[in-house]
Chain A
Amino acid sequence: MNPGKLATQAARSMRRYPLRTSLMMAGIVAGIASLAALASIGEATKRETMRRFKNMIGTFDTIMVRPGGGRSRGMPTLVNVPPTLRFDDARAIATNLPEIKAVAEMQSAFDIDVKYRDRAASPAVFGVSANWLSLRSDEVEQGAFFSEEQDQSLARVAVIGPELRKSLFPDDDEPLGKTIRIAEVPFQVIGVLHGRGAGPAGGSLDNLALIPVNTASRRLFNRDYVTMLIAQLKDPSRSEDAVAAVTALLRERHHIRPPALDDFAVTNPAAVMARVTQASGTLEKILTGVAVMALMVGGIVIMSLMSIAVSERRSEIGIRRAAGASRGDIVMQFTLEAAFVSLSGGLLGVIIGWGGLEAATRLQKLPPVFVWQPLGVSLLLSLAIGLAFGGYPAWKASRVDPAQALRS
């Protein structure tokens, strides 16, 4: 009659049969533990991937253009640059296309020695235009970035990443105003970048020196083509249109006609991002499926053990019926018992799963991300399993003939 009292009766029955209760819980504990851990790891990994992408790209309102064949996918590599994308291409994109707000140019070189006094390092050296900082939503922590004028006048100034700073100025020396030599050409350090952390592949994004792109082109690399262009979009939600417009413009400028392939590649970070998170989503779905299967097994264990319990407890059912329990009361009591068992198993499973997740994030060196949604869903799921799989035995219990049960 009174659900609270029935719940107490159900809890007492659980205590009365500890072995059966723990057996029933085992399957649910295993299923929920793996489900909670897997779902949380999946969610945490996804968030971490997104964070690293954002580290590398800066913002999602840009598209990237780099030279070379149109077949390559994913993020651009910065070595072996074909000489097909030129500075005037960048200017044409910036001035002719209404979809594009601004274009930043970039030239890069690796394995260039950077020295300060007797210390040497080989960071990535990027020649970039003065608007690079804002397009990448980077920040200068100390000093200043170079200006458009410094770029035009081929100024020998450099802004260095925090990691390069650490290797060249380890003793907390003031780097600003110091002269470093990049490929034996002297540059004055005018700023230090804010740290970005790890990129999607795990490498650091902070071991670099940024110099004006014109200085790089004429004084250092002696190249008139760029490694990459970053185009900022007016409307980030219409990135596909911008990709199409840039492609059309560059094909025209490079005199490419079908069936010839592009000699450049446009990357849309938002689209890449979507693909990556979708891929990890698929893995997550498979793992979740496995865990759900474990839960189903747990549910079936509950159902069969409860069914056995019903036949063992026929006389209890008879006693309760004689004392005034209706069929509904009996259904309620046994369903509640199953739900309790399942929910306690779920709770235990969530705790174990959470422990496993902690261990896993330590091993994978992921930052511990507490994602409560999968844990909550797991708990609800365990309750639902108890109700679903406890329902049939409970119904069976209510069909026991009390007169017969009392006489046996």
Chain B
Amino acid sequence: MIEMENVTRLYPRGQEIIEALRGVSFRVLPGEFACVRGASGSGKSTLLNILGCLDRPTSGTYRLECDNVSQCSDRQLSAIRNRKIGFIFQSFNLLPRTTALENVEIPMVYRDGRVDRRRALRALDRVGLGGRASHFAAELSGGEQQRVAVARALINDPALILADEPTGNLDAAAGRDVMRLLQDLNREGRTILLVTHDDAVASYASRELLLADGRIASDRAAFTSGPAMGGSR
């Protein structure tokens, strides 16, 4: 599914050059549920940008389902984001003055321009928001907004879901709802890559990559037998 080989990413900042990633190599198999952890400044965000095809590595190769993403043009990268990747963000990132339904439809606009309204409605039903389709995103609660975002992420049936602190802005109950949705998506065979600080959230993953100072510090299977449902947050 994901193959990273010796990926580096350098940023110029003023006179100096920041080494955000200094040779990251790892693989994720199809259907895995992995989480990436690390202190801030460890390179998590940069790694996630590259994984999400929003950024390109300075050197090294990144393959997503065998496509060598490092050499794609903007148009090809956009098509990959559109078809293969679903994004879930900490701050939901919905268009506030747009209805839930239209938010879910956005990825279809950039696929082939055919907007299948019934499909978008089914996706909203699936996250339990079929009755909220015509509400503006700004009118929904945080948990509802994040579930709209999940519906949007899966509307084009992507193989990979990238979730960046998906529960960071949610209360415990709403966070659990979102994590259960992700768990369901994983059981359907979708690969999930999760970035989080939260132990409870990380416990849903079956594998944990620890990033430190631009390198993979540890890569181990998570031995918890199941998600810790206590949820301290």
| A1 proximal to B (CB < 8 A) | yes
Q: Is A9 an interface residue (CB 8 A)?
A: yes
| Any B CB within 8 A of the CB of A20 | no
In the assembled complex, B71 has its CB within 8 A of some CB on chain A: no
B203 on interface, CB distance cutoff 8 Å: no
Whether the Cβ atoms of A321 and B98 lie closer than 8 Å is no
Complex Cα distance A5/B105, Å?
Answer: 11
Is the interface on chain B under 10, 10 to 19, 20 to 34, or 35 or more residues? Answer: 20 to 34
Give A326 to B82 CA distance when docked, in angstroms.
10
Does A406 contact B93, Cβ atoms closer than 8 Å?
Answer: yes
User: Interface residues of A: mostly helix, strand, loop or mixed?
Assistant: helix
Chain B contacts of A320 at CB under 8 A?
106, 110
Q: Please tell me if B19 contacts chain A, counting CB pairs below 8 Å.
A: no
A323 touches B49 (CB 8 A): no
The residue from A1, A316, A322 contacting B54, defined by CB atoms under 8 A apart: A322
User: Once the chains bind, are B75 and A323 in contact (CB under 8 Å)?
Assistant: no
Contacts of B98 in A (CB 8 A): 12, 16
Judge whether A324 and B107 touch: CB under 8 Å.
yes
B95 and A403 within 8 A (CB): no
Residues of A within 8 A of B55 (CB): 403
Q: Name which of B109, B115, B152, B156 has the most chain A CB atoms within 10 A of its CB.
A: B109
Docked CA distance A294–B19 (Å): 51
What are the interface flags for B101-134 relative to A under an 8 Å C-beta threshold, 1 for contact and 0 otherwise?
Answer: 0100011011111110000000000000000000
Cβ contact of B93, chosen from A5, A318, A327, cutoff 8 A: A318
Give residues 125-165 of B contacting A (CB, 8 Å). 152, 156
In whole angstroms, how far apart are the Cα atoms of A313 and B110 in the complex?
A: 18
Known: A1-B109, A320-B106. A326 touches B74 (CB 8 A): yes
B62 at the interface (CB under 8 A from A): no
Contacts of A2 in B (CB 8 A): 109, 112-114
Other A-B pairs beyond A322-B52, A322-B87, A324-B111, 15, CB < 8 Å: A1-B112, A5-B113, A9-B109, A16-B97, A319-B95, A321-B78, A323-B82, A323-B106, A323-B107, A323-B152, A324-B107, A327-B74, A327-B78, A328-B74, A403-B55
B contact residues vs A (CB 8 Å cutoff): 45, 49, 52, 54-55, 74-75, 77-79, 81-83, 87, 89, 93-95, 97-98, 102, 106-107, 109-115, 152, 156
Listed in ascending order, the chain A residues whose CB lies under 8 Å from chain B are 1-2, 4-6, 9, 12, 16, 315-316, 318-329, 402-403, 406-407
Can you list 6 A-B pairs, Cβ within 8 angstroms, ordered by A? A1-B112, A2-B114, A9-B109, A322-B52, A324-B110, A326-B79
